[in-house]
Structure 1
Amino acid sequence: MLKQLYIKNFTLIDTLDIPFNPGFSVITGETGAGKSIILGAINLLLGQRADVKSIKSNNSKCVIEAHFDISRYNMQDFFTSNNIDYDANDCILRRELNSSGKTRAFINDTPVPLNLMRMLGQQLIDIHSQHQNLLLNEEDFQLNVVDIIAKDKSVLLKYKEHFNAYKNAKKAVDKLCKEIEENKKNEDYIRFQLKELTEAELKDGMQEELEHESEKLSHVEEIKTALYSAGTSLSSYESESNIIDKVKEASRSIDSITDIYPEIKSISERLESCFIELKDISDEINSEADNIEFDPSRLEQINSQLDKIYSLEQKYHVTTISDLLNIQDNLEKQISHIDNSDEELAQLKSEEERLLKECENIADELTAVRKEAAKVVEKEMRDRLIPLGIPNVRFSISIENKNICEDGHDRVSFLFSANTSIPMQPVAQVASGGEIARVMLSLKAMISGAVKLPTIIFDEIDTGVSGKIAEKMGDIMQEMGKANRQVISITHLPQIAAKGTTHYKVFKEETENGTTSRMQILDKKERIKEIAQMLSGSEISNAAINNAKELLKTL
């Protein structure tokens, strides 16, 4: 329920801070006084697009803030899931607009994205303006009305879960069909690529090994020369500088004095160790020199393999064998996919058909529930419309089958006739403006009994009606305002204005800073005067005063 509305520097409003009460309230005022401005400010709290032109002249910022009591509506989950402080007795929505065009939204002083404010706002306030009568043209709106009365939320949720599963299965089938078609176009080329890579017999590390062996075979003479030179230096008997013999000789010399000069023993041991190590190195060098041979055929084979690897890497725009092996693996999968696609497609189609059948079964459940609800809506709408001056009304709901979609397979249409001689047709096509207003009010009244919506605002829903019919419409809105609901009607009709528990007047006032829109709560005397003026115009007659008192039942 809306408790307080604060508006600062918005269009013609400099400052407005006004409380709102539960029950049925009315807002009146001359055309152009600023009623639509107040409604526009509330719409900004519901996430409507902001325009810097809305900022009052000579100001850099406007603020709209509303306080709500949401203690009866179990909304804590919304605040918890969005990490916003929760205060059931004082929920605050605030919107700020700067002259730079920047806009900010807040819920309980927490900055939030505008779409989050919109989500919450739509749960707090339902604004019904004249353009919303166009909803009677929309199938979704009519279906939603039936679903609200049917209270089929659990069935609809179950259906949507199955429908989403069916939709995903259908997407998988469509995707596989496209892949099969595309793969079959490229099958020959894919098989050629796979054969080319498979025949290369690629292995991880293969390129590095081949490059190393190629390098070695290309420098055999250089390697043999270096090994021979080293071997000769270490152990050749023909060399005067034979290192091993000299180390051995040094070792013997030192060893001969260890008994008389024990301090030298560690050096003797190290020399012995050096001799053994050098002897071992010499043997290995000689062995390497004996084993390495120039093999031109092997070098040719290696270089041929490397050329093939380099060519494949260049062709597939990669730099390693590992990358080529990944490509080979993907090609193998594609070929496997092609070879097994018919079986895979059959399985996916079978799953799609199974899910479609489940959806159809649950959709049939929805249809049955909706048809029962449609009977309730038909009766209640007739009961509501007859007192509203349509004594011969016929109202029926047509539910026809359509292709399965997100809300089932029902096409809903509201059929209407105000006269016995005219056959029923879709309501938006045959109802007059006044009749549509009464139909929409009746629908809203019926829905409000089934949905917990804190605040409903009617913006001149009474257009096209007057007299007793207006009074009956006022009675309906007054009844809607009971049972912990809040209904606010912006109206030009005195019959409706007199039904309000609280009466607000919007008016313009000339100040030193220009024209300003004001809003105030009227007391009993002020209400009589306002309603009398609505009855007679600017010149208030005694008859109008008496008529106003009669409407207000204050005599």
Structure 2
Amino acid sequence: MLLSLSIKNYALIDDLKVRFDRGLTIITGETGAGKSILLGGLSLILGKRADLNSLKNKEKKCVIEAEFSVGDYHLQSLFEKLDLDYEPHTIIRREILPSGKSRAFVNDTPVTLDVLSALSLRLIDIHSQHQTLQLTNNDFQFQVIDAIAGNKAFIESYKVKLAEYYKAKKELQALIDFQQEADKEQDYNSFLLKELQEARLEPGMLEELEEAFEKLSNVEEIKEKLAFSSQLLSDEHSGILVNLNVMRNALGKLSGYGPRFEELQNRINSVFIELDDTFNEIENLDETVEANPEELEQVNVRLQLLYDLQKKHNALEVEELIRIQKALEEKVSVTENLENDIKNKQLEVLKLEEELDKLAAGIHGNRVKEGPKLKEYLEGALKKLGMPNATFKIEIRPTTSFFANGKDELHFLFSANKGSGYGELKKVASGGELSRIMLCIKAVLARYEKLPTIMFDEIDTGVSGEVSDKMGDIMQQMGESMQVFAITHLPQIAAKGAKHFKVYKEDSGTMTSTEIKELSTDERIVEIAEMLSGKNISDSAISHARELLLL
């Protein structure tokens, strides 16, 4: 609901502030008084692009601010989607700077015009005789029939399930695409994997094989050097261990002569123990080293296999080959399990289709059930609005396709006169007819769902008398459940309002400005009388105005 509107330095407006209430609010004024200026300023709040020429004083900025009560519209999710802080009382502000730049704010947060437009669509609907094309929009027609059919909860569930369905179908297609690609590589991957598996790869095996190869390739030299070293250590006449033992015994006799001699004897003893242990190790190694041409060939074959695998896979280490093997195992395993995964995903898609079909059938059933009620209401309302022969044909056809709101195709077909064939609204209905149809539809929507504030801008153009009175009744009824504004030149409609504002021009020196004020009861009588008879108000016009106002 629009609570207040403030406009500064816009067109003929210097500084205008006005507050509004619930119900039907009437706005009147002479042609050229500035009603269009008021709408123009409000349209900037709704995201319309700014024009520097709209500044009254080109050296000052233009500021337009509107306060809305949004607590009843369930807009928290929209605010979150638009990355805005939700406030039950939301303030939208537009600024046009003398430089030509424009800025927009929602609750003091800077926003783009796209964000402003997305939000304002849920806050206020400015509707004129020339803005009835929405009525010919199929999505809007579905909104009407679904509001009456009580399909909101069903459609929300359907949309959730539809998102799951499209996600599952996308995943299924990805699996199928992957399978087709994997099938091309399956044989080659299996061949590579088999090669690696047959190599029996283990961490550190390359180093072990290289060491074994060096040992087996140099057996004679190793045994020769080991024997020579053994002889140097153990020869009974000149061996290192024999002479070192003699030295150890000699120094042992000096150990009692002081700490330094004892330390020297201990060091020689340590050297002897170490060399003796080395001699034993040499002897043991000598026993293990034997020529084995068959083992050498086996080691060489294993090494060449590893070298070839490293070259093929561009790997520097066996550990890298092991990682490649694991990756190939996963690929081959996934490919082998794809058939099962695809079958499971196909079953999931079929189940979601069945659930969607069930929801769509419920939505369709409600539409078919309530379609005649909408037809009856629209034809009855239009009869009161001077279209006695207007008839509708609401066609709801089930299809095999999943749409965003079900599986139906919807056609609003219209005939304005007896004997005329039915056709689409945008092809057979005139502008005036569309305006009256839209008024009726907005009225029926107001019964079933929370609509934003609606402003009818001279939607009554081209009608008068009893028809205008009935249009006023419809707007008045809408005002019982929502905020409605009607900019009108017709006294029959003006008298229906709970509040009445007048837009007028005021001259001050060399300047003219547009003002707006709320009319008192007496002022309303005069305003409506003037709408009835012109500037020269007669007593009968005053009396008629009182009758219209039920005074």
Matched, 1:198 2:197: no
- Aligned mates of 2:272, 2:59 — CA distance in 1: 99
Compute the RMSD of aligned alpha carbons.
Answer: 4.6
CA drift of 1:359 comes to 2.2
Matched, 1:429 2:427: yes
- Aligned mates of 1:306, 1:315 — CA distance in 2: 10
CA drift of 1:161 comes to 3.3
Contact 1:313–1:319 (8 Å) recurs in 2: no
Partner of residue 355 from structure 1, selected from 347, 352, 357: 352
SS of equivalent residue, structure 2 residue 473: helix
The aligned counterpart of 1:417 is 415
The aligned counterpart of 1:324 is 324
Contact 1:388–1:469 (8 Å) recurs in 2: yes
The aligned counterpart of 1:4 is 4
**CA 1:194 to 1:100, structure 2 compared with 1: closer, same or farther past 3 Å?**
farther
Matched, 1:374 2:371: yes
Which amino acid in structure 2 is aligned with residue 198 of structure 1? K
Which region of structure 1 is more displaced relative to structure 2, 359-368 or 510-519?
510-519
Which region of structure 1 is more displaced relative to structure 2, 461-470 or 545-554?
545-554
**Alignment of structure 1 residues 47-196 onto 2, 5 Å:** 48=47, 50-51=49-50, 53=52, 56=55, 58=58, 62-70=62-70, 88=88, 90-96=89-95, 99=99, 101=101, 103-107=103-107, 109=108, 121-184=120-183, 186=184, 189-196=185-192
Matched, 1:386 2:417: no
SS of equivalent residue, structure 2 residue 132: helix
Gaps of 5+ in 1: none
The aligned counterpart of 1:491 is 488
- Aligned mates of 1:518, 1:238 — CA distance in 2: 128
- Aligned mates of 2:399, 2:494 — CA distance in 1: 45
**CA 1:243 to 1:397, structure 2 compared with 1: closer, same or farther past 3 Å?**
farther
The aligned counterpart of 1:542 is 537
1:165-210 superposed Cα distances (whole Å, 9 cap, x missing partner): 33333334433443444445x2xx5413431342244779758642
Matched, 1:313 2:323: no
**Alignment of structure 1 residues 278-357 onto 2, 5 Å:** 278-281=275-278, 283-284=280-281, 291=289, 297=297, 301=301, 304-314=304-314, 320-333=320-333, 335-337=335-337, 341=339, 344-357=341-354
SS of equivalent residue, structure 2 residue 384: coil
The aligned counterpart of 1:453 is 451
Matched, 1:478 2:472: no
SS of equivalent residue, structure 2 residue 448: coil
CA drift of 1:335 comes to 4.1
SS of equivalent residue, structure 1 residue 21: coil
**CA 1:204 to 1:64, structure 2 compared with 1: closer, same or farther past 3 Å?**
farther
SS of equivalent residue, structure 1 residue 384: helix
- Aligned mates of 2:494, 2:174 — CA distance in 1: 61
1:9-49 superposed Cα distances (whole Å, 9 cap, x missing partner): 55654533221122211223455655444434444444x35
- Aligned mates of 1:409, 1:400 — CA distance in 2: 8
The aligned counterpart of 2:461 is 463
**CA 1:324 to 1:55, structure 2 compared with 1: closer, same or farther past 3 Å?**
farther
**CA 1:305 to 1:63, structure 2 compared with 1: closer, same or farther past 3 Å?**
farther
Contact 1:191–1:335 (8 Å) recurs in 2: no
CA drift of 1:285 comes to 5.8
Which amino acid in structure 2 is aligned with residue 473 of structure 1? M
Contact 1:204–1:321 (8 Å) recurs in 2: no
Which amino acid in structure 1 is aligned with residue 419 of structure 2? S
**CA 1:253 to 1:111, structure 2 compared with 1: closer, same or farther past 3 Å?**
farther
SS of equivalent residue, structure 2 residue 313: helix
**CA 1:335 to 1:78, structure 2 compared with 1: closer, same or farther past 3 Å?**
closer
Contact 2:310–2:321 (8 Å) recurs in 1: no
CA drift of 1:364 comes to 1.8
CA drift of 1:329 comes to 2.5
**CA 1:293 to 1:138, structure 2 compared with 1: closer, same or farther past 3 Å?**
farther
CA drift of 1:489 comes to 1.7
Contact 2:196–2:325 (8 Å) recurs in 1: no
Contact 1:218–1:299 (8 Å) recurs in 2: no
Which amino acid in structure 1 is aligned with residue 378 of structure 2? M
CA drift of 1:447 comes to 0.8
SS of equivalent residue, structure 1 residue 423: coil
Contact 1:155–1:362 (8 Å) recurs in 2: yes
CA drift of 1:482 comes to 2.0
Contact 2:503–2:514 (8 Å) recurs in 1: yes
Q: Normalized against structure 1, the TM-score is what?
A: 0.79
1:230-267 superposed Cα distances (whole Å, 9 cap, x missing partner): 99599635799987667656654565455665797677
Contact 1:397–1:414 (8 Å) recurs in 2: yes
Contact 2:455–2:484 (8 Å) recurs in 1: yes
**CA 1:384 to 1:209, structure 2 compared with 1: closer, same or farther past 3 Å?**
same
SS of equivalent residue, structure 1 residue 65: strand
Which amino acid in structure 2 is aligned with residue 547 of structure 1? A
- Aligned mates of 2:134, 2:227 — CA distance in 1: 100
CA drift of 1:390 comes to 1.4
- Aligned mates of 2:10, 2:200 — CA distance in 1: 72
Gaps of 5+ in 2: none
CA drift of 1:458 comes to 1.9
The aligned counterpart of 2:436 is 438
Contact 1:528–1:548 (8 Å) recurs in 2: yes
CA drift of 1:443 comes to 0.7
Contact 1:499–1:552 (8 Å) recurs in 2: no
Query: How many residues were matched structurally?
Result: 541
CA drift of 1:481 comes to 1.4
Contact 1:207–1:306 (8 Å) recurs in 2: no
The aligned counterpart of 1:519 is 516
**CA 1:307 to 1:463, structure 2 compared with 1: closer, same or farther past 3 Å?**
farther
SS of equivalent residue, structure 1 residue 386: helix
- Aligned mates of 2:513, 2:237 — CA distance in 1: 119
Matched, 1:26 2:26: yes
Q: Normalized against structure 2, the TM-score is what?
A: 0.79
CA drift of 1:271 comes to 5.4
Name the % identity: 34
SS of equivalent residue, structure 2 residue 166: helix
Which amino acid in structure 1 is aligned with residue 308 of structure 2? K
SS of equivalent residue, structure 2 residue 462: coil
Which region of structure 1 is more displaced relative to structure 2, 296-305 or 457-466?
296-305
Partner of residue 504 from structure 1, selected from 501, 506, 510: 501
